Amino acid sequence: MNAQTQITEVTSPGETREMSYAEAIRDAMTIALDRDPTVILMGEDIGTYGGAFQVTLDLIDKYGPERIMDTPISELGGAGVAVGAALTGLKPIFEFQFSDFAALAMEQIVNQAAKLRYMLGGEAAVPVVFRMPAGSGTGAAAQHSQSFEAWFGHVPGLKVVQPSTPEDAKGLLLAALADPDPVIVFEHKLLYKMKGQVPTGYYTTPIGKAAIRRTGDAVTIVASAIMVHRALEAATKLAAEGIEVEVIDLRSVRPIDRDTIIASVKKTGKLLCVYEGVRTLGVGAEISALIAESEAFDYLDAPIQRLGGAEAPIPYNPDLERAAVPQVADIETVARRLAKGEV
């Protein structure tokens, strides 16, 4: 049996309309800017230019430069201003042109935003949202194509999400803005043009809740971002062979939805973790440990499998770039072997 489920909290239900992933993010920001005068946008070239991926297109015309603020080419400085603004009661959304550039702002994200509530005894909140275009597939090479969700997921005090659909891109961003703590939203660059039905109006997608995108009883695949769609494509091909794969969209790296993953693995007895980040010390390692330390371990019929990125920088050459991260055929092969007991 095949099915798709979506768990979304709609606080103001309305009709749906087709939007691209990028349009859904812009819609979320427009709603937030209209509803809350403390929401501001910051980032390099997000004003007149509309952002590196045109997500903030035209927002400066509506809200002006006092709320849509172009920052200098200094990720450390810009992120620091965003953290400071959050401490004063504003709700900044800071856009990095590429998630790779967040390496320049690690001090502000990891040592300041993530820790200030703790260090000030809970007397202050840091409601800042960092938007990070991430992932490979655009030919942007080693310094513009990385997946750092495991980096930031390692840090207490941060929440980390990876929407895979236009509906979740909007809902998770609005949830991030409603959160009193810093939230990092990783947006896979290949998804910006993907279209889907998105509820109009305000709603939130719960942070920390996974979604079962396809049900099955042969193998559990846990994936996020672009890998969800590749896993679903692989699952469709395997279904033609009588192998029904369950695909879980992680959606949230920190916190992780333990209950949904454990329940699925107890049902299927087999787990494949698929993620774009480098395989070693990646998100799949945490999920593997989660199952190994839970009651689901006794239900396993085969060793847990991880399918992650290559132990190398992302190449510029398109063929090598594809080879560096899991593709549909890779997922299909490993899932088939798992289902047939060949691992």
Instruction: Give the active site residue among 23, 44, 75, 244.
Output: 75
Instruction: Give the separation between CA 109 and CA 98, rounded to whole angstroms.
Output: 15
Closest listed residue to residue 195, CA positions, set 233, 246, 229, 221: 229
Instruction: Give the separation between CA 311 and CA 301, rounded to whole angstroms.
Output: 28
Instruction: Give the active site residue among 23, 44, 95, 144.
Output: 144
User: How many residues are present in the chain?
Assistant: 343
Please, what is the Cα angle at 59 between 36 and 203, to 5 degrees? 45
* Helix, strand, coil percent content, the chain, rounded in steps of 5: 40, 20, 40
Q: Where are the beta strands (DSSP E) in the chain?
A: 16-20, 39-43, 68-70, 91-95, 129-134, 159-161, 183-188, 195-199, 211-214, 219-223, 245-249, 252-254, 271-278, 305-309
- Number of neighbours of residue 260 by Cβ within 10 angstroms: 20
Q: Clarify whether 75 is annotated catalytic.
A: yes
Instruction: Give the separation between CA 298 and CA 270, rounded to whole angstroms.
Output: 11
Q: Where are the alpha helices (DSSP H) in 126-249?
A: 149-153, 166-178, 226-239
Structure token digits, residue 230: 């590749």
Active site residues: 75, 144
